[in-house]
Amino acid sequence: MRIIAGKHRGRVLAAFQGEAVRPTSDRVKESLFQILMPRLPGARVVDLFCGSGALGLESLSRGARYVIFNDSSRESLSLCKKNAAALKEEGEFHCLDYEACLKTLSGKYDIIFSDPPYRADYTENILRLVAARDLLAEGGLVVAESEREETAPAGWERVDFRSYGRTKVAMFQRSKL
């Protein structure tokens, strides 16, 4: 697992051992960030299920201004902090479940990454909470990674969808009135 591009290009991140954790593959990450690149300079980002921090750190490497890293696992958050320190990057770190994290956030964010454990079905609830708390900046995206094709609930529009074998990535924006 490595940083694909930007100021930390090629830097290797510490990763989890074993099969229990499924990090986003470099292939998926590279494709995803090619799509997101125009949005990253100066962006405010939330990585709801940060794991090793790969998505948030890639965002910072490519010009994001600020990242909130969240994971309910202390072990994951510790690894994320280790990776951030190795890159001399700062962020805000929370050890909360995704609902608690979203309920504590204030302000507007340009990108919210949702990459929960694959069997989890959180996307609709995440979108509901993001809308209720008005957390997305104008034109902001919720980027949801899962193993199923996520559809847009009421009030949302799926603006992009990609399939990489078992991995599916859907991007959602608030529907325009």
Give domain status of residue 101, yes or no: yes
Query: Which helix (H) or strand (E) element contains residue 142?
Result: strand 136-146
How many domains, the chain? 1
pTM of the prediction? 0.94
What was the pLDDT predicted at 143? 97
> Does the residue 47 lie in any domain?
yes
The reply to whether 152 falls in a domain is: yes
Domain that holds residue 99: 41-174
Would 141 be classed as within a structural domain?
A: yes
Top-confidence residue, 39 or 28: 39
In a domain, 18, yes or no: no
Helix (H) or strand (E) holding 133: helix 123-133
- The answer to the question of residue 98 being in a domain is yes
| Structural domain contains residue 110 | yes
Question: Mean pLDDT, to the nearest integer, of 90-96?
Answer: 96
User: What's the pLDDT at 151?
Assistant: 85
pLDDT at 27 over 50: yes
Q: What is the CATH number of the domain that holds 49?
A: 3.40.50.150
SS3 annotation, 26-84: HHHHHHHHHHHHHHCCCCEEEECCCCCCHHHHHHHHCCCCEEEEECCCHHHHHHHHHHH
In this prediction, residue 18 carries a pLDDT of 47
In this predicted structure, the answer to whether residue 19 has a pLDDT above a threshold of 50 is no
